[in-house]
């Protein structure tokens, strides 16, 4: 299997059409309402045409980098991570992630993927700011953000409606000149083949 960002335990690489079919893990995640408690993904049932349309649009979108998270030992596709809304002029991007396979929950896979992705973003894509949003109710995701250096910066009130009740979103962000001294070496340590594109 070709791997774009090769880690010691996980690797991140682009997805292919055969990973979008109804018999694949990714397809099933989008119909799993338990994965959508704190997000806005699964309002409608999934179908093959929606997956194909999404994949085609994603491949053509120059403001999106979508990578799968793969376990090196088993080869399992366990989740996804992305940069979206990339603003190349102002050098910022929105980071999002999904752990789809419950067998890998609570084992640090998302933390490793975020650190590798942010290292890639700051050093290869020349980003200055990486930011995101997380439900105020999603304690586990807020812990991930803290572990990877995405600092809580503010609140967007009543952004998510579930079971008749609104909840807030916490806005998080990281700046390259702050993040690299504190998290750069840690992130680099998760790579099996350290990237060779470091910037000063």
Task: Please determine, for residue 27, whether its predicted confidence score (pLDDT) is greater than 90.
Answer: no
Residues 37-75 have pLDDT tens digits of: 666 665 678 888 888 888 899 999 999 999 999 999 999
Name the band, by pLDDT with cuts 50, 70 and 90, for residue 29.
confident
Where do the structural domains in the chain lie, given as residue ranges? 5-188
pLDDT of residue 38: 62
CA distance readout (Å), 25 to 3, 11, 22, 102: 18, 17, 8, 11
pLDDT of residue 35: 61
Greatest C-alpha distance within the chain? 50
Task: Please determine, for residue 3, whether its predicted confidence score (pLDDT) is greater than 50.
Answer: yes
- CATH assignment of 5-188? 3.40.630.30
Name the band, by pLDDT with cuts 50, 70 and 90, for residue 1.
low
For strands 10-13 and 65-71, give the pairing.
Answer: antiparallel
Name the band, by pLDDT with cuts 50, 70 and 90, for residue 200.
very low
- In three-state form (DSSP H/G/I as H, E/B as E, the rest C), the secondary structure along the chain is CCCCEEECCEEEECCCHHHCCCCCHHHHHCCCHHHHCCCCCCCCCCCHHHHHHHHHHHHHCCCCEEEEEEECCCCCEEEEEEEEEEECCCCEEEEEEEECCHHHCCCCHHHHHHHHHHHHHHHCCCCCEEEEEEECCCHHHHHHHHHCCCEEEEEEEEEEEECCEEEEEEEEEEEHHHHHHHHHHHHHCCECCCCCCCCC
């Amino acid at each position: 299997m070709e791997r774009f960002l090769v880690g010691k335990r996980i690797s991140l690489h682009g997805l292919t059409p055969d990973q979008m079919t109804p018999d694949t893990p990714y397809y099933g995640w989008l119909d799993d309402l338990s994965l959508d408690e704190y997000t806005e993904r699964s309002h409608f049932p999934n179908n093959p045409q929606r997956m194909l349309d999404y994949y085609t649009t994603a491949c053509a979108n120059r403001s999106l980098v979508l990578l799968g998270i793969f376990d090196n030992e088993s080869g399992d596709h366990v989740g996804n991570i992305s940069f979206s809304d990339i603003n190349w002029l102002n050098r910022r991007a929105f980071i999002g992630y999904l752990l789809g396979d419950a067998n890998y929950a609570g084992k640090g896979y998302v933390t490793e993927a975020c650190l590798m992705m942010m290292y890639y973003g700051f050093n290869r894509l020349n980003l200055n700011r990486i930011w995101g949003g997380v439900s105020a109710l999603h304690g586990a995701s807020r812990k991930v953000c803290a572990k990877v250096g995405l600092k809580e910066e503010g609140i967007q009130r009543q952004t998510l409606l579930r079971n008749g009740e609104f909840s807030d979103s916490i806005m998080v962000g990281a700046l390259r000149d702050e993040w690299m001294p504190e998290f750069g070496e840690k992130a680099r340590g998760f790579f099996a083949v350290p990237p060779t594109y470091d910037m000063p």
